[in-house]
Amino acid sequence: MNRRRTTFLVARREIRERGRSKLFLASTVIMLLLVGASTALQGALSKEPTYRVAVTAPAPSGLAAALERAAKPFDDAKVELRVVASRAAGTLALEDEDVDALLLLASDRLFFRSDVDPKAAAVVDTAVRELRRHLPPEPELTTVTLRPEDETTDAAVLVAYVGSLLLLTTLAVYGQWVVGGVVEEKNSRVVEVVLSTVHPRHLLAGKVIGIGLLGLGQLVLVAGLAAALLAAGVYDAPASLAGDLALVIPWFALGFALYATSYAAAGALASRQQSADAAGQPVTYTLLAVYFAGYVALSADAEGVLAGVLTMFPLSAPLVLPARSALVGVPLWQHVLALVLVLASIYALVRFAGRVYGHGLLHGGPRLDPRVAWRLGRQS
């Protein structure tokens, strides 16, 4: 029987046994509901928005009424019209966030602060067109921003932090499943029966792949749904963020390969008295430390040296790279370097964990020193 078949059988058992567990089904449903709830929340918050528009004196008569009418089709939006003395006064009001847009009828221009609000622009454009009795399709107004567009929008920050938090929790939860599975096999002693026909490396691979696929499936559903909603414009956020959010999925796979093998080795080294939680702690702490280092580095300066290093450092790359990509973008060479480094680390770790795992599993006594396990581990 070839290795692939054995690994497949082990992975399939993990998926079948755990995939129908209440824990897995419930957590998937809850996460999907959370994504669904976030769209409802978005809908509730954006209901009947009020656009505050400034216009230089003298304002044409009927403008306020035209704006009201133009706003009607946009979720019953309200428009507050404010007449300012001059363009300078209007710019000041815009800068101070007293108004959202400034209309200069003399030059047919509509000013925003840093981001064009397409709905507000459409409302004002329709109103002006109505006053002048012009027909579509040519727009009456040119939209302008006072400052260059912000690269980092609030939505990007949200995607970055929610994305990396999602990664952290998924890695930790599914990693802990791996420890739990390893400790259960060791404590129920079934591992001796399994290892009489299965090589430890294939048992390790099957377990990590099986549980990893479950985690990936859940993440694809949840992150995939959120990314699809972003791309469809359900959220008040740039659609390009959908790609950054989707980046979470391949990086989960890479991060999981890295951390789950460590979790498996930790489980194999645990003593029979130790609980799975305690056995997995060293790895969970590493994961948390890396997450907070990334959080601090990105909050301080997403384009700084520390953030750059953490983007490529194998242990932190899975958490930091997708977040940084959403915040400020990551150059292609850093994507490539991070990928190469993390793949090399996975290779080294699988070799190490495979060897420690085999010996650790069959060792019934107290907690095992990894160095001893490495020395005694089967090589074949």
Partner 1 sequence: MLVIDDIRKRFGAVEALAGCSFSVERGRMLGFLGPNGAGKTTAMRAIFGLVALDAGDVSWDGRAVGPEDRLRFGYMPEERGLYPRMAVGEQLEYFGRLHGLEAVAARTASTGRLERLGLGDRADAKVEALSHGNQQRVQLAAALTHEPELLVLDEPFAGLDPVAVHTLAELLRGEAERGAAVLFSSHQLELVEDICEDVVIVDHGRVVASGTVDDLRRASQRRRIEIELDGATAAWVPDVPGVRVVERHNGDLRLLAGRDVDPERVLREAERSGKVVEFNYGPPSLAELFLELVER
| Binding footprint of partner 1 on the chain (CB under 8 A) | 1, 6, 9, 13, 16-17, 184-185, 188-199, 362, 364, 376, 378, 380
Closer to partner 1 by Cβ: residue 197 or 275: 197
Q: How far is the CB of 194 from partner 1 (least distance, A)?
A: 7
Closer to partner 1 by Cβ: residue 198 or 283: 198
Element holding 337 (H helix, E strand): helix 332-362
Residue 33 burial by Cβ neighbours in a 10 Å radius (0-12, 13-18, 19+): exposed
DSSP 72-92: TTTTT-EEEEEEESSHHHHHH
Strands 101-104, 50-56: pairing is parallel
What the block records as the tokens of 103 is 């209309």
Q: How far is the CB of 376 from partner 1 (least distance, A)?
A: 8
Closer to partner 1 by Cβ: residue 211 or 242: 211
Contact present, 136 and 287 (Cβ < 8 Å): no
Closer to partner 1 by Cβ: residue 10 or 94: 10
Residue written as token pair 């058992």: 13
Nearest to 226 by CA among 245, 252, 239: 245
Alpha-carbon gap, residue 339 to 323, rounded angstroms: 15
Closer to partner 1 by Cβ: residue 11 or 171: 11
Residue written as token pair 């001796």: 192
Closer to partner 1 by Cβ: residue 194 or 306: 194
Residue written as token pair 């939505």: 155
Closer to partner 1 by Cβ: residue 61 or 379: 379
Contact present, 315 and 286 (Cβ < 8 Å): yes
Q: How far is the CB of 281 from partner 1 (least distance, A)?
A: 24
Alpha-carbon gap, residue 371 to 374, rounded angstroms: 5
Q: How far is the CB of 191 from partner 1 (least distance, A)?
A: 7
SS3 label, residue 142? strand
Contact present, 271 and 367 (Cβ < 8 Å): yes
Q: How far is the CB of 196 from partner 1 (least distance, A)?
A: 4
Q: How far is the CB of 364 from partner 1 (least distance, A)?
A: 8
Nearest to 59 by CA among 119, 103, 125, 97: 103
